[in-house]
Amino acid sequence: MVAQINSAKNNLLARFRGMVADHEQLLRLALNEAEALAWESHYPELVFQDLAEEKAQTVVNWVARQQSLAPRGRFDA
């Protein structure tokens, strides 16, 4: 079960990594939180995927919102 959740977590990291730019740590924290919450349930292997996707999408939405609010050129290096 641990291997199954770790595999799902790695797949989600790969899938969402490009969408969060320099905020990968937030994505990792969200996925860790999803894992912790899943382990509190009676069926962590069933709960994790949906919960993790929801949390990852929340991070993606937050990053997009921050970028839309940032002054032009702020994210340009």
- Alpha helices per DSSP H over 1-77: 2-17, 24-39, 44-69
pLDDT for residue 47: 95
pLDDT for residue 64: 94
Question: Residue ranges of the chain with pLDDT lower than 50?
Answer: 77
pLDDT for residue 75: 56
pLDDT for residue 70: 79
d(CA 51, CA 12): 11
Q: 9 and 35 in contact (C-beta within 8 Å)?
A: yes
pLDDT for residue 54: 97
Going by the DSSP 8-state scheme, the letter that residue 57 receives in this structure is H
- pTM attached to this predicted model: 0.85
